Structure 1
């Protein structure tokens, strides 16, 4: 058992967010303080993870020797490592404590940020050097899983959609933030040394790490361990939800890395010089991730009201329509921007709604198992929810890898992105059908839990309980 930073705090010593009296008598304040600094650290982590999506825009082929395909590969490498690290990061807060791990995960990112400055200040490196450095920035992608698992333990079921949506949305804002800071840096100092934007993050990482050390707490309640991960892996809901998250978060992070390059290619094809094309692309690219990050919060909040599965279904219907706009509008900047902005907003909402589904599904599963005490039921739900948050986050991140690789292949094959958009549209249709078939098409006699997702029935139907548990 870990030692609490505030070992004499009776609330932290006996933490139970479902206890309304404890929550009203200081628990909400403690949870909010941890949420604020969790968002701060995760935000900077996302920025570092996305750092190369900005850097490649200002790396002329004649100077750095990297083709468009190489740049997509760099983005895919950072995305891949960030996704895979979410598996171990999920269990890190249970093993080391939420406060302790947040401090470590912030300070360790000083390494790839410093390396990026040095590598880009010395152009002409072989491709593998850029790939290694991009892989190290993937450490920032792992922060999402540990942050979400930690905040999940701090908040009651009735507020998880909002809390997880705010935590993730604040983290996702790190993507447009680094793109905007990169744009401002180029506008201020010119395109000759845009990597000095990294210096900003050396300061922000230090501030986030110190703030987490001073303001966050460790919890001693049960969390995600290998046992919980094994139970989650064996539950089919884990993989269904993870597949849905590929369509939402995978789209968000994949498009965040690729949008700027797609726009830069468009501007080059229409007569802009490489430097001018990159600047024009940067002026637009940050808008999509910005709106997608903000919409995530509202997606979670809406899911609290009407059900995560219902919101998720309509998100995928909308994303199919947006991908269709990109297919039919190939060659038009207005269609490109409109289609991508819609995809960003909808994928952000879907991120929030899918993550609302996770605690709802496993809370319903816990109720169906008829544990002897409410504490046992809460421990089961919390552990499974935390494990699935990490697994879904990792698998969803791999969707971002897929998007960059599919776009890369599309450009190599045809010189355009149209065939990639067809692939994405087909996936969104399949995701919509899956959401409806598994979480909305339920027996009419099924009884729904008062606090559960509107699409997640509980033990009122033995058939449905079997599915959930």
Structure 2
């Protein structure tokens, strides 16, 4: 049965509205009665299938984070350490670029429709991987191009977050967005834990032995291709499009003129860029720095704790204020990075693992708190543009604020994904300077660069969002607890 007919009272037909199928024309989550009777159930169902699709997409996006190491260890491809870092970095770069059109796809085509399309696109990188590893003469440049196609998995996050932001009322956006994102982020752990077992490389702390027949990476390509089809089918049968999410490109792109779009994007580079970049680089860093450690047994832990911490960040931000949580979280991230540098210099495995996991936790908390800030900032700015507005004028301002916030979420997610590329590429570039090798001093230098970036994030958050004086002078109705 059409979702429009089940959740919407009869309305006069309007050529401006897109009806039929699984479109919902009447959506008012801020109305408590509507939310309790209809909205919550529909939003929860869309959130569940959004998480499934995003989880599979993240797994495909990080497919090469673990596959690259197996290519060298089990297939005999003679790639240098720097080449492997670039093989892992390319999907992050492509994913960051694709997040921009993916952001604008939801208001153009509808969230459910685009989730179907994005699920089907996952067949490209997965089937190409299966074909490439089946041919021992596949050159490095071909692997690089195939790895680039995995970027379609990274683009999915932007459209998913943009879509879910329309389903939930403002008071619940922080946790809803954090849960949606965390469900996707944990796909990184799934691919890093499950792929070695699936392809015959062993794992699960020695509970699964390596296959006597050798590693078969093509198997992973076929499995995640099938999962891509599953994601598309789930969206087709169980998700909805919201007419309220439709908007012109002109309205959405206007957020590029907003100062805060670029500030929160910078902050999200620090949180999500670190999460996805470190997740991609973690297996290679462990293998290079601590060759005696079984990578498959620990590499998934970073993404797992980072993903689990994201809802905590959203929950804390809903209660304490996104800016306050973000500020102190960046300070903790900087402290954890200092400990990682110490561990690298001392070649201390327990300290390295423990401090790196602390950094992963802070990336997750910061992801949740930063995204909670965005809807609040843009809605407050929309109201500030029409001082004293009431009734329909105020409602129109809030609607515009939500549309701009959704676009800002997508654009900042693109910036964050690009940050993930920069993180991995930093190791690769420093390795090239070091004749292709990535020894401990190169790793420590890279983390020192990241530390400097986190310091700028602390300064920006304090200057723009937590200083009481600037809040009072520039936005009298805004407090750090609101942001």
Is TM-score (shorter-chain normalized) higher than 0.5? yes
- 2:216 is equivalent to residue 193 of structure 1: yes
The 1:258/1:445 distance shift into structure 2, 3 A limit, reads closer
The 1:387/1:220 distance shift into structure 2, 3 A limit, reads same
- 2:429 is equivalent to residue 415 of structure 1: no
1:445, 1:117 → 2: CA distance?
58
Instruction: Say which SS state the counterpart of residue 64 (structure 1) adopts.
Output: coil
2:351, 2:283 → 1: CA distance?
15
2:192, 2:248 → 1: CA distance?
36
- Among candidates 345, 359, 362, match of residue 375 of structure 2: 359
- 2:152 is equivalent to residue 125 of structure 1: no
| Residue 13 of structure 1, CA deviation | 2.2
Q: Give the conservation status (yes or no) of the 8 Å contact 2:82–2:427.
A: no
- Among candidates 21, 27, 36, match of residue 15 of structure 1: 27
- 2:302 is equivalent to residue 309 of structure 1: no
| Residue 453 of structure 1, CA deviation | 6.0
| Residue 335 of structure 1, CA deviation | 2.0
Q: Give the conservation status (yes or no) of the 8 Å contact 1:50–1:178.
A: yes
Q: Give the conservation status (yes or no) of the 8 Å contact 1:304–1:453.
A: no
How many residues are paired up?
443
Q: 1:20-169 maps to which residues of 2 (within 5 A)?
A: 20-60=32-72, 63-169=76-182
Q: Pairwise CA RMSD of aligned residues?
A: 1.9
Residues 346-401 of structure 1, C-alpha deviations (whole Å, 9 max, x = no match): 00110000000000101111221225523312321111111101110001111111
Paired position in structure 2 for 1:345: 361
The 1:146/1:224 distance shift into structure 2, 3 A limit, reads farther
Instruction: Say which SS state the counterpart of residue 18 (structure 1) adopts.
Output: coil
- Among candidates 2, 6, 10, match of residue 3 of structure 2: 6
1:169, 1:46 → 2: CA distance?
11
Paired position in structure 1 for 2:15: none
1:329, 1:149 → 2: CA distance?
39
Greater alpha carbon shift after TM alignment, 427-436 vs 414-423: 414-423
2:110, 2:352 → 1: CA distance?
44
Instruction: Say which SS state the counterpart of residue 124 (structure 1) adopts.
Output: coil
Q: 1:266-345 maps to which residues of 2 (within 5 A)?
A: 266-268=289-291, 272=292, 280-330=294-344, 331-345=347-361
Instruction: Say which SS state the counterpart of residue 151 (structure 1) adopts.
Output: helix
Residues 325-347 of structure 1, C-alpha deviations (whole Å, 9 max, x = no match): 01122211112111210111100
The 1:52/1:326 distance shift into structure 2, 3 A limit, reads same
| Residue 97 of structure 1, CA deviation | 1.1
1:88, 1:431 → 2: CA distance?
27
Residues 11-61 of structure 1, C-alpha deviations (whole Å, 9 max, x = no match): 432111111111011110000000000010011000000000010121126
Paired position in structure 1 for 2:16: none
| Residue 455 of structure 1, CA deviation | 5.3
Q: Give the conservation status (yes or no) of the 8 Å contact 2:466–2:480.
A: no
- Among candidates 200, 203, 227, match of residue 250 of structure 2: 227
Q: Give the conservation status (yes or no) of the 8 Å contact 1:52–1:134.
A: yes
Residues 255-296 of structure 1, C-alpha deviations (whole Å, 9 max, x = no match): 00000000011233xxx5xxxx6xx11211100100000100
Instruction: Say which SS state the counterpart of residue 65 (structure 1) adopts.
Output: coil
Q: Give the conservation status (yes or no) of the 8 Å contact 1:5–1:218.
A: no
Residues 376-428 of structure 1, C-alpha deviations (whole Å, 9 max, x = no match): 12321111111101110001111111111111233343622000010011111
Q: Which runs of 5+ in 2 are unaligned?
A: 9-23, 203-207
Instruction: Say which SS state the counterpart of residue 454 (structure 1) adopts.
Output: coil
Q: TM-score, normalised by structure 2?
A: 0.88
- Among candidates 284, 299, 306, match of residue 261 of structure 1: 284
Instruction: Say which SS state the counterpart of residue 338 (structure 1) adopts.
Output: helix
Residues 297-323 of structure 1, C-alpha deviations (whole Å, 9 max, x = no match): 110111000011111111110111011
- Among candidates 401, 405, 411, match of residue 421 of structure 2: 401
Moved beyond 4 Å, runs of 4+: 444-450
Instruction: Say which SS state the counterpart of residue 234 (structure 2) adopts.
Output: helix
Q: TM-score, normalised by structure 1?
A: 0.90
Q: Which runs of 5+ in 1 are unaligned?
A: 457-469
Greater alpha carbon shift after TM alignment, 130-139 vs 58-67: 58-67
| Residue 68 of structure 1, CA deviation | 1.1
